[in-house]
Structure 1
């Protein structure tokens, strides 16, 4: 797996936000096809969402391999080829288990980059009619990306994670974790081979949303 090492000086921000807004609701061992994880449940005390982290091994301290995965029902559960979300979820869990140490924070409320499931279905319809994924959200009068990663950072703090090796292609996740006081030791790309059905979508993510997707070339 290709790794990008980041400058440690880049992890200092003066406007770090650390206000607590979660409550740990319990945990249980979860046997999956990828390995044995500890499923830790949380309540978001600000938004009311129920959240979950899948923890493999001892993640406290520095350098835990970490994935912040935005909820995508169509991709994660139904295997939609419109996006790469389901493949990224599987690849991240495999990578964490192979590493022997890491955490996946599954972020509910992030459907459609934060617009919700029903709005996402409308946006997908607009994409089928010729708009790209950004244009579709905007045509519905919604933000191109309204996701917030506060709760993810607070979950990592609760788990004792001080710095992460971040499994992501999205620079906004990196910036958000830094803002909320989680240091980035490395950025680890999570590159999924494109399909005919999602190549245009992925190119839009690269060109309009700044995702690091060099494999599309």
Structure 2
């Protein structure tokens, strides 16, 4: 799977959160049988024909996989026939598709991002498909993207963002009773660390670092509360 940056930080965060939340939800299913789509009430368009990938071993969805191209169709027009006989718009399909993934999206992001996703799907916020032409800022995202807007500044960093920032900055991290300093990334997912003092190497994946750092934070907060309670007696 490949992804592209957009000139709109809010849309980019919303897209990443939706993709990550959907993947994590599907991975938690009992199996990956097509019947899971019905069980989780995910709308299915008909006709739907997978195409062989031209350069990789696998399948892909192209414009001719469907009755018409979704890239040029009106996102608000009820043009798409579903397997249950309904005729829906792309936005209505997207809104229904969001439902089974909301909980996991909220867990890995925050309520503001989830609300923005829902707003785009409901037509209350614009997506890039709503523009007649591709925005000029799309041609040079790195220079023109504005991360300093007020609505972006008020969004807190997710737990993963905080951990990744510390990994990149090679800041020491406490795991249990030990402190580790990042040695290097090991692939896309694992982080090789060395214990401060002994220099012993230990490898964590990002999920472990997020979980363990969150546990340490809760324990430290609990200790502070106990200490304050003792002092007040």
What range describes the TM-score normalised by the shorter chain of this pair?
Answer: under 0.3
More strand by share: 1
* Bigger RCO of structures 1 and 2 (CA < 8 A, at least 6 apart): 1
More helix by share: 2
TM-score, length-normalised on structure 2?
Answer: 0.24
